[in-house]
Amino acid sequence: MRTTSFVRAAILGLALAASAAPAGAAQFHFGFGTDGFGFRRPLICIELTDRQIRNAVRDQGYSNIYLNVSNNRRIQVRATRGDWVYLLRVSTCTGTILSRERLRPA
């Protein structure tokens, strides 16, 4: 099989796989390199669901988790840890906390 045929078949396969996903399924993003904050992004980002994001934040020691609207593979999350309420910026690809701002006492 020639290289160009293989590349065409791979692109067609990715297009078919993305179009076959149901409307409510996770979103697919293709990103390369780093973002503006110096964090490395995965080559293919399959965004986590709201429940998976809540579980990832909970597993890092937070409770009373409230999600805001996601924007550019990130989501703002308000959560409590200890005696403080924090505003977190969380990656929707991996569930890791990218930044944390202390808002007020709980």
One-letter amino acid at 94 equals: T
Please state the three-class secondary structure of 7-59 as a single string.
HHHHHHHHHHHHHHCCCCCCCEEECCCECCCCCECCCEEECCCHHHHHHHHHH
Task: Kindly tell me the burial class for residue 35, based on how many C-beta atoms sit within 10 Å of its own C-beta (0-12, 13-18, 19 or more).
Answer: middle
Buried b (16+ CB within 10 A) or exposed e, 67-86: eeebeebbbbbebbbeeebb
Q: Report the C-alpha gap between 79 and 57 in whole angstroms.
A: 8
| pLDDT tens digit sequence for 28-87 | 545 555 555 666 655 688 889 999 999 999 999 999 999 998 888 899 999 999 999 999
* Res 51: pLDDT: 96
**Could you tell me the pTM of the whole model?**
0.59
